[in-house]
C-alpha cells in the first residue's frame, strides 16, 4: 500500500513546487529577502534595520578619487515615503511592505548617483529625483507608448538601471556577477519584454547590492 501511494505523493509535491514558482515574485517576498540579508533576526525594515541597510550601501559607492558626499540617508527615508508631502513625523523612517517599492527605488537611485541623491535630500527632493531616475530608465524605446507611468519594468529597463550603476557602484571582491536577465529570472520573469513591478525588480537588485554582487551586462 505504501509503495503505490509514494508516486502519487511525489507527483503532488511536484505540482506544489510548480505552482509556487509560477507568476512573478511579490513585493512581500523581495522585502523579506532584503530584511534577511541586513538583519536576519528582524521581521521588517524598522528604523534600526534601515540605518544598517544604508550603512552597507554607503560602502558600495565610490566617487572617483574623492569620497562620495555623506548625508543622513536613513533619517531622510520619509522623503521617499511621503512623496510631495514633506512633513516628517516620528517613526516614519521605518518601511512597510506597501512602501518598499518607493524605498527600493530611492536606494538604487542613491547607488547610481550618491552625490545627486545627497544634494536632493538636502533640498527635500529625494522623491522627485527618484521619480526622475525611474522615468529615465523605464521610458526606453520599448516602452514609449506608456506615457508617464513607471510602475512596471522589463529586462530592457533593468539594463538601463545597470548602465546607471556603472559609474559609482562598487562590488565586493570575488562576489558572484549577475546580469539583468539573472535578476529578472530570480523574480520569475523569463521574457525580455515581460514586465514586473518596479519595486520587485529594484528590490531584488537592492538585495544583490547589499550582498556586494557584481553587476554586468
Cell numbers representing residue 134 in the block: 525611474
**Residue 189 three-state SS:** coil
How many Å apart are CA 41 and CA 207, to the nearest integer? Answer: 16
E strand spans, 79-136:
none
- Please list the pLDDT of the chain residue by residue as tens digits (217 residues): 434 443 433 333 333 333 333 478 999 999 999 999 999 999 999 999 999 999 999 999 999 988 999 999 999 999 999 876 656 555 578 999 999 999 999 999 999 999 999 999 999 999 999 999 999 998 654 444 444 457 899 999 999 999 999 999 999 998 899 999 999 999 999 998 899 999 999 999 999 999 999 999 8
Full-model pTM: 0.84
DSSP notation for 94-136: SB-GGGHHHHHHHHHHHHH-HHHHHHHHHTT-HHHHHHHHHHH
Amino acid at each position: 500500500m505504501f509503495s503505490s501511494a509514494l508516486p502519487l505523493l511525489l507527483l503532488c509535491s511536484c505540482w506544489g513546487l510548480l505552482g509556487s514558482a509560477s507568476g512573478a515574485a511579490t513585493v512581500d517576498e523581495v522585502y523579506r529577502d532584503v530584511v534577511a540579508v541586513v538583519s536576519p533576526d528582524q521581521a521588517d525594515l524598522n528604523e534600526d534595520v534601515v540605518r544598517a541597510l544604508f550603512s552597507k550601501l554607503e560602502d558600495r559607492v565610490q566617487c572617483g578619487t574623492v569620497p562620495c558626499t555623506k548625508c543622513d540617508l536613513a533619517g531622510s527615508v520619509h522623503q521617499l515615503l511621503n512623496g510631495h508631502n514633506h512633513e516628517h513625523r516620528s517613526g516614519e523612517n521605518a518601511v512597510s511592505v506597501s512602501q518598499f517599492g518607493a524605498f527600493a527605488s530611492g536606494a538604487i537611485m542613491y547607488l547610481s548617483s550618491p552625490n545627486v541623491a545627497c544634494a536632493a535630500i538636502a533640498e527635500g527632493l529625494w522623491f522627485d529625483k527618484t521619480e526622475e531616475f525611474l522615468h529615465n530608465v523605464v521610458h526606453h524605446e520599448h516602452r514609449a507608448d506608456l506615457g508617464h507611468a513607471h510602475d512596471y519594468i522589463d529586462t530592457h529597463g533593468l539594463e538601463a538601471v545597470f548602465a546607471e550603476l556603472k559609474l559609482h557602484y562598487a562590488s565586493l571582491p570575488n562576489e558572484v556577477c549577475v546580469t539583468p536577465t539573472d535578476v529578472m529570472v530570480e523574480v520569475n520573469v523569463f521574457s525580455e519584454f515581460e514586465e514586473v513591478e518596479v519595486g520587485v525588480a529594484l528590490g531584488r537588485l537592492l538585495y544583490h547590492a547589499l550582498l556586494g554582487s557584481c553587476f554586468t551586462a
